[in-house]
Structure 1
Amino acid sequence: MNLYHFTRSLVRTILNPIYRFDVKGLEHFPETGGVLICSNHINALDPPVVGITAPRPVYFMAKEELFNAPILKPLLPKLNAFPVKRGLSDREALRRAITILKGGEVMGLFPEGTRSENGELGKGFSGAGFFALRGEADVVPCAIIGPYKAFKRLKVVYGAPIIMQPYRDRKASAEEVTLVIMNQIQMLLNENKS
């Protein structure tokens, strides 16, 4: 068992009894090929929650500062994380993300870019559409529905894949595709709120 799978099992063992995960929609998740998971962002624990509930290993971008910490620097790459410079156009991180998707892997992304302060879905950055179009991957929308409170149920809902080829064929913009993605996330939130 490699470090990713070991850590994933460990985190699941720790978090599952606390948050009582209710995971839905895994039957929609493609078994093969590149997948871009796009989720709302309500808590700092969202990346590990997506990582332990998705049926395939997930790669994430993480802010570059985390890779400067002596303990995390050697650990993060083994946990499928790679650095991104925030607030800048980080070409290396963009290339890495597209390579991951074109290579048939799964990447997780939070299109809002930051956590929502009021729990409502915010505006998505066009990077989500950019990766979806350029990465030769389909998009799986995801809704995390809190609250993150001990021993309260936490819903994680995966929607049907958004097939990107028609958008590529008609050369849709990254902004348009991002809007489609955000609308799908909002629909999952509306349909699954307790």
Structure 2
Amino acid sequence: MSFYQFAKTVVKMVLKPKYKVKEEGIENIPSEGPVIICSNHISNYDPPIVGITCPRPIHFLAKEELFKNKLFAFILNHVNAFPIKRGMKDRNALRKGLEVLKEGNVLGLFPEGTRSKTGELKRGLAGAGFFALRSQATVIPCAIVGSYKSKEPLRVIYGKPVDLEPLRESKASAQEVTDAIMDEIRKIKENH
């Protein structure tokens, strides 16, 4: 068993019952080939929650500050996370993300870039659109619905793939593609 699988099993045993996590729409995630999962961001627990509900291992972009603690950096490196500098173009992170997709893996993104304190969706950053346009990956919108403080189940809902063809044909910008992805996340939230 890989470290990732071990960590996923342990985290699942702790977080799934604690937050009554229910996943929906996992059939929308292709079982192979490059995939970008784009989720809203309401808590520090979002990456492990998305990680335990996705049937495939996810490579998450994580803020660089998280890698400053040696123990935490060790864990993050072994669960496929890699650092990104916030607030600037980080060419190394962009290159690494494209490499993950080129190898046919799953890239996990929180396009808002930071947590929403209110739970309301903020405008996504252009990075999600960049990865979508520069790869042949299937883009899956994901909405975390509910609250980590509520007694209600926390729902992780994976939507149908975002149709990127019209955006590619119209030569849409990375920001326009991100906006379209965020619209899909918004629709999932509103419908649930």
TM-score (norm 2): 0.95
1:167 aligned residue: 167
- Aligned residue for 1:10? 10
Amino acid at match of 2:178: T
The corresponding residue for 1:26 is 26
User: Following the alignment from structure 1 to structure 2, what is the Cα–Cα distance between the partners of residues 118 and 150?
Assistant: 14
Comparing 161-170 with 75-84, greater Cα deviation is found at 161-170
Aligned length: 192
Q: What amino acid is the match of 1:27?
A: E
Q: Deviations over 1:107-148 (max 9, x none)?
A: 110111111111111111111111111122121000001210
Take 2:165 and 2:105, find their aligned partners in 1: how far apart are those partners?
17
Contact 1:37 1:106 in 2 (8 A): yes
The aligned counterpart of 1:142 is 142
> Is the CA contact 1:24–1:156 (under 8 Å) kept in the aligned structure 2?
yes
1:93 is aligned to 93
Displacement of 1:189 in angstroms is: 0.1
- Give the partner amino acid of 2:52: I
How far apart are 1:165 and its partner, in Å?
4.3
Q: Which runs of 4+ in 1 moved over 6 A?
A: none
CA distance in 1, matches of 2:165, 2:139: 11
Once residues 77 and 170 of structure 1 are traced to their aligned partners in structure 2, the CA distance between those partners, rounded to angstroms, is: 38
Find the counterpart in structure 2 of residue 125 from structure 1. Answer: 125
Q: Is the 8 A contact 1:64 1:83 kept in 2?
A: yes
Q: 1:28, 1:70 → 2: CA distance?
A: 36
Return the alpha-carbon distance in structure 2 between the equivalents of residues 72 and 153 of structure 1. 28
Tell me how far 1:33 sits from its aligned partner.
0.9
The alignment yields a C-alpha RMSD, in angstroms, of: 1.4
> Unaligned stretches of 5+ in structure 1?
none
Gap change, CA 1:170 and 1:51, over 3 Å in 2: same
Superposed CA deviations along residues 5-61 of structure 1, whole A, max 9, x for unmatched, are: 000010000011111112110111111111110011111100100100011000011
Give the conservation status (yes or no) of the 8 Å contact 1:99–1:135.
no
SS of 1:71's equivalent? helix
Q: 2:51: which partner in 1?
A: 51
SS of the equivalent of 1:61 reads: strand
Task: Report the 3-state secondary structure (helix = DSSP H, G, I; strand = E; otherwise coil) of the residue aligned with 2:96.
Answer: helix
Length-normalised TM-score, structure 1: 0.94
* TM-fit CA distance, 1:71: 1.1
Paired position in structure 2 for 1:75: 75
SS at match of 1:66: helix
Question: Aligned with 1:124: secondary structure?
Answer: coil
Instruction: Give the match for residue 156 of structure 1.
Output: 156
Deviation, 1:78, is 1.1
Deviation larger for 61-70 or 99-108: 61-70
Contact 1:137 1:164 in 2 (8 A): no
CA distance in 2, matches of 1:93, 1:165: 25
What displacement does 1:83 show?
A: 1.2
- Please report how far the alpha carbon of residue 2 of structure 1 lies from its aligned counterpart in structure 2 after TM superposition: 0.6
Greater displacement, 4-13 / 23-32: 23-32
